[in-house]
Amino acid sequence: MLAVTTAAVTLTSVAVSPAQADPYGSLTLYFHTNFRGDYPMRYYDTRATLWSGESDEASSVRNSSDYAFVLFDDTRFGDRAFCIRPDHEEDWLGNPALGFNDKISSIKRMPNHYCHGYPEIGIRYRWP
C-alpha cells in the first residue's frame, strides 16, 4: 500500500513585468512612422512642454498608460489638439485626417481614460 503524503505548496507571486519608471505607464512619441526612430520619447508627467529636440518631431504615438493624453500643437497646451486613449496607437500622425506630423509641442495627461471632448485619434492595439 502506498502512503500518500501531501506537501504544502506555497505559491508566491513573482513580478515578471518589465521595470517601469512609472506604475501608470507612459505615452511614447516616435520620431518616425510606425513607431520607429533613433529613440522613443517617453512622457509620464501630467503636463509637459517638449524640449527643442523633440518638439515638432513626432510622427507616431503609442499610449501604454492608464490615462488619456492630449497632444497639442502649441508649446503652451493650446492650438490644435488631439487625444489618444489608453492602449491606443497612431502609426502616422501625418495622415490626411490629422495633418499632425511633426506638430506635437506639448502634452497633457487627463485625470482618467476619457478624452473629455477632445477629438480622439488612434486605434486600439491591445486589450487587458
User: Interface mask (CB under 5 A) for Ca ion, residues 7-36, using x and -?
Assistant: ------------------------------
Question: Which residue lies nearer to Ca ion by CB, 58 or 86?
Answer: 58
CA separation for the pair 56, 59 (Å, rounded): 9
CA separation for the pair 20, 26 (Å, rounded): 9
Tell me which residue has its CB nearest to Ca ion.
105
Question: Which residue lies nearer to Ca ion by CB, 26 or 105?
Answer: 105
Q: Which residues contact 70 (CB under 8 A, 6 or more apart)?
A: 77, 81, 82, 83, 107, 108, 110, 115, 118
Helix (H, G, I), strand (E, B) or coil at 106: strand
Is residue 103 near Ca ion by the rule CB under 5 A?
Answer: yes
Residues 34-73 within binding reach of Ca ion (CB under 5 A): 56, 73
Is residue 100 near Ca ion by the rule CB under 5 A?
Answer: no
Residues near Ca ion (CB under 5 A) are 56, 73, 103, 105
